[in-house]
Amino acid sequence: MSLSPLIKLNQLNYNSSQPGKKVILSDISLELTADKIVTIIGPNGAGKTTLLKLILGLIDSAKGEIFRHKDLRIGYMPQQLAMNTLMPLTVERLLQLATPRANRDIDQVIHDILIEVGASHLRHQSVHVLSGGERQRIMLARALMHNPNLLVLDEPTQGVDVIGQEELYQLIAKIRDQRHCGIVLVSHDLHTVMRASDEVICLNGHICCSGSPDTVKDHPSYQTLFMGQSFIEPAITTYTHHHDHCHDDGLEGHHHD
């Protein structure tokens, strides 16, 4: 049975609020479903951040439609989280602050999620002394505190070395497999992320091409936009998810204009 989209964008357009109303995004149509990793790539200024804001509902589109599942729960991992370095803050406290409901068994939830992201040993560590890879795992844990069925990840491997990037992408795929959630992420790590995705969307103000990594890497639009960054098989073997199982979802979608 086909899955109901968690979010569906239909011919979405977005113009700048500045004088002249420059077109930032034009005719964007896409679907985000459970059990699928969708990666958005594109050059600087392509509208990737604007598209994420539209998905998150932080801004309204000038034209087009957005359909949201009636039970949509989004977990968001931003590029950076502004934190006062003078204020003591442990990993545990950061996750407590991200908890949506006060009546939950917070200690157990934090324990379980930190194990899930491979960071249980960091629970009482100060957030300010974490390495890049450790901080991204904690940010991912923070996004999971809402028990999302859609994860929105903005540059999830920013500030992480190549080996750490590989481990994080494997972790993201594992979370998708275990939680059966949808995942949409923005990334510049072309050589790694392509094989870690079910679908790749190449964006440059509009959708230039989309499809499986193998399809997109051979598309003329991809080759033009990323000339000099041709797809190269990474030295580290990346995780590739194979859909050899099916999922049943009888939920109906919810429409938002």
> What is residue 75's predicted lDDT score, i.e. its pLDDT?
96
Instruction: Report how far Cα 151 is from the mean position of its chain's Cα atoms.
Output: 5
Domain range for residue 36?
1-73+183-231
More confident residue, 82 or 174: 174
> What is residue 199's predicted lDDT score, i.e. its pLDDT?
95
Tell me the three state secondary structure of residue 51: helix
Task: Answer for the pair 21, 167: CB distance below 8 angstroms, yes or no.
Answer: no
Q: Residues 6 or more apart from 100 whose CB is under 8 A from it?
A: 145, 146
46 assigned to some structural domain: yes
> What is residue 169's predicted lDDT score, i.e. its pLDDT?
92
In percent, the amount of the chain with pLDDT more than 90 equals: 57
> What is residue 193's predicted lDDT score, i.e. its pLDDT?
76
Q: Is 46 left (phi over 0), alpha (psi -120 to 50) or beta?
A: alpha
255 assigned to some structural domain: no
> What is residue 238's predicted lDDT score, i.e. its pLDDT?
38
DSSP state of 8: E
Tell me the three state secondary structure of residue 154: strand
Token duo for residue 56: 């998150």
**Mean pLDDT score, 38-51:** 93
DSSP state of 90: B
194 assigned to some structural domain: yes
169 assigned to some structural domain: no
The lowest-confidence range among 30-34, 158-162, 170-174 is: 158-162
In percent, the amount of the chain with pLDDT more than 70 equals: 82
Q: pLDDT category, 181, cuts 50, 70, 90?
A: very high
> What is residue 26's predicted lDDT score, i.e. its pLDDT?
95
Residues in the chain: 257
> What is the chain's mean pLDDT, rounded?
84
Per-position b or e across 209-244, b if 16+ CB within 10 A of its CB: bbeebeebbebeebeebbeeeebeebeeebeeeeee
More confident residue, 255 or 90: 90
165 to 5, 115, 133, 147, 228: CA distances (angstroms)? 28, 19, 8, 24, 21
Q: Residues 6 or more apart from 172 whose CB is under 8 A from it?
A: 37, 140, 151, 153, 156, 183, 185, 196
> What is residue 159's predicted lDDT score, i.e. its pLDDT?
85
**Mean pLDDT score, 146-166:** 91
Q: pLDDT category, 6, cuts 50, 70, 90?
A: very high
CA distance 94 to 240: 32
For the beta carbon of residue 21, count every other beta carbon within 10 angstroms.
10
69 assigned to some structural domain: yes
174 assigned to some structural domain: no
48 assigned to some structural domain: yes
CA distance 147 to 73: 7
Express each pLDDT in 101-127 by its tens digit.
Answer: 655 688 999 999 999 999 999 999 999
* CATH number of the domain within which 69 lies: 3.40.50.300
Q: pLDDT category, 60, cuts 50, 70, 90?
A: confident
> What is residue 101's predicted lDDT score, i.e. its pLDDT?
62
Amino acid (one-letter) located at 96: Q
89 assigned to some structural domain: no
More confident residue, 201 or 250: 201
> What is residue 228's predicted lDDT score, i.e. its pLDDT?
57
Give me the number of domains the chain comprises.
1
